[in-house]
Chains A and B, each alone.
Chain A
């Protein structure tokens, strides 16, 4: 299988890449790791006229702490996040996410920025960004701006990024004490996209109430969703079976679920609620200081 012909450019600098994007606009696609774009091109479902390979731009990979945030740059590979001890201790949920993406080869190729900008409805990064209230930093020749995760994921494979913008960094707020998060995914077979996935990040107050909570789900709607209804139910409350059942119902209800080979709509709705409860339980244990492993690939 071969993609349609395209023109290839490998800019040396981000500025050069932005210039090409401004020039070619909608007819160009950015190639980062290629883990998703290359298969789509081989199937000829994507046939960009121009491919701008930013995969080796210097300065667009790696992590840094800044102003209460953990900034992970766009070209950081999934495996680099998975392997980073500093990321794992600050935000164990990101280790959960990156351990569950695809398979080892995909994690070696795929990048954070590529995955977030692609916005696959069943991708693993987006629920994490939504649960953590992360934001993305993007630049174009017109300037730069920050987009909150909740304003970023608009529709299937569609984000708020303009065709001339490059996502350069994801900013994760560093959580206060007594915080924990977890990401869980149910897949049909190894390496597949999720039937459903769920990220939960929680901060407990001294009395054990949910002081702050973020919930993101994927695989169950055209776009990844932040489940504000469940967050509002739980915030400020003491954990309890009735409350949790209501919150899980809110997670199930927020879905505009559909049936496909990976599962029926009803099954997906159910699974989203179950994953939410399990992820919340893990997040709470981590918030209490327990070190918990999530079973993942």
Chain B
């Protein structure tokens, strides 16, 4: 399951890049984080509350910055588990100058297996998309506010 999109922020490319490769700042804008731990400048883990209606739980995710091209591109890879299920995801951001600001092209790819996948079935795709959108919106907000 993959989705992509783009948004534009007023921050300069260098600022956006600095934000994206700084786990400290990224963790702060992630939605519904219960606890987090920065393991190294490139690796961090978070416990996130997830839920749909009565189905609720915590998913522990470990992310690492898998690719860095200064001021151009950053890719996160994450693995996690929770609620009897496992998640593999990858999110990448590519930066371009746009007027005075930066255009951020992003993509997200997630694979979910286990109990949630068997119960929620087709719901997972729209739900995963919604979570990715929330994540991207949070990053965008972080960039706007972080200026």
Question: Which residues of chain A have a CB within 8 Å of any CB of chain B?
Answer: 29, 37, 40, 43-48, 118-119, 121, 155-158, 222, 256, 258-262
User: Within the assembled complex, what's the spacing in Å between the Cα atoms of A48 and B122?
Assistant: 24
Are A258 and B122 interface neighbours, CB within 8 A? Answer: yes
Are B126 and A256 interface neighbours, CB within 8 A? Answer: yes
User: Within the assembled complex, what's the spacing in Å between the Cα atoms of A118 and B53?
Assistant: 8
A45 touching B119 in the complex, CB below 8 Å, given contacts A118-B53, A158-B53: yes
User: Within the assembled complex, what's the spacing in Å between the Cα atoms of A222 and B126?
Assistant: 7
Chain B contacts of A43 at CB under 8 A?
Answer: 84, 115, 119
A260 touching B125 in the complex, CB below 8 Å, given contacts A45-B83, A45-B116: yes
Are B123 and A156 interface neighbours, CB within 8 A? Answer: yes
**A222 to B, closest residue via Cβ:** B126
Chain B contacts of A40 at CB under 8 A?
Answer: 54-55, 119
Are B121 and A261 interface neighbours, CB within 8 A? Answer: yes
B147 within 8 A of A: no
Chain B contacts of A157 at CB under 8 A?
Answer: 52-55
* Sample (25) of A-B pairs whose CB atoms are under 8 Å apart: A37-B54, A40-B55, A44-B57, A44-B115, A45-B55, A45-B84, A46-B56, A47-B57, A48-B54, A118-B53, A118-B54, A121-B123, A156-B123, A156-B127, A157-B52, A157-B53, A157-B55, A158-B52, A258-B123, A258-B125, A259-B125, A260-B121, A260-B124, A261-B122, A262-B121
Chain A contacts of B52 at CB under 8 A?
Answer: 155-158
Q: Mark each residue of chain B from 112 to 146: 1 if its CB lies under 8 Å from any CB of chain A, else 0.
A: 00011001011111110000000000000000000
Question: Which residues of chain B have a CB within 8 Å of any CB of chain A?
Answer: 52-57, 83-84, 115-116, 119, 121-127
Known contacts A40-B119, A258-B123, A262-B122; can you find 18 more A-B pairs with CB under 8 A?
Answer: A43-B84, A43-B119, A44-B115, A45-B54, A45-B115, A47-B56, A119-B53, A155-B52, A156-B52, A156-B123, A157-B55, A158-B53, A222-B126, A258-B122, A258-B126, A260-B121, A260-B123, A260-B125
**B129 to A, closest residue via Cβ:** A258
CB of A276 to closest CB in B, whole Å: 20
Chain B contacts of A158 at CB under 8 A?
Answer: 52-53
User: Within the assembled complex, what's the spacing in Å between the Cα atoms of A258 and B130?
Assistant: 13
Of B56, B57, B122, chain A has the most CB atoms within 10 Å of the CB of B122
CB of B47 to closest CB in A, whole Å: 15
Chain B contacts of A48 at CB under 8 A?
Answer: 54
User: Within the assembled complex, what's the spacing in Å between the Cα atoms of A46 and B52?
Assistant: 10
Of B54, B56, B57, B116, chain A has the most CB atoms within 10 Å of the CB of B54
CB of B24 to closest CB in A, whole Å: 30
Chain B contacts of A259 at CB under 8 A?
Answer: 122, 125
Chain A contacts of B122 at CB under 8 A?
Answer: 258-262
User: Within the assembled complex, what's the spacing in Å between the Cα atoms of A121 and B125?
Assistant: 13
User: Within the assembled complex, what's the spacing in Å between the Cα atoms of A121 and B124?
Assistant: 12
**B127 to A, closest residue via Cβ:** A156
Are B126 and A46 interface neighbours, CB within 8 A? Answer: no
User: Within the assembled complex, what's the spacing in Å between the Cα atoms of A158 and B52?
Assistant: 7
Chain B contacts of A261 at CB under 8 A?
Answer: 121-122
A44 touching B125 in the complex, CB below 8 Å, given contacts A37-B54, A156-B52, A157-B52: no
User: Within the assembled complex, what's the spacing in Å between the Cα atoms of A93 and B84?
Assistant: 39
Are A44 and B84 interface neighbours, CB within 8 A? Answer: yes
Chain A contacts of B127 at CB under 8 A?
Answer: 156, 222
User: Within the assembled complex, what's the spacing in Å between the Cα atoms of A45 and B55?
Assistant: 5
Of A47, A119, A222, chain B has the most CB atoms within 10 Å of the CB of A222
Chain A contacts of B116 at CB under 8 A?
Answer: 45
User: Within the assembled complex, what's the spacing in Å between the Cα atoms of A119 and B123?
Assistant: 13
**A193 to B, closest residue via Cβ:** B121
User: Within the assembled complex, what's the spacing in Å between the Cα atoms of A119 and B53?
Assistant: 9
Chain B contacts of A222 at CB under 8 A?
Answer: 123, 126-127
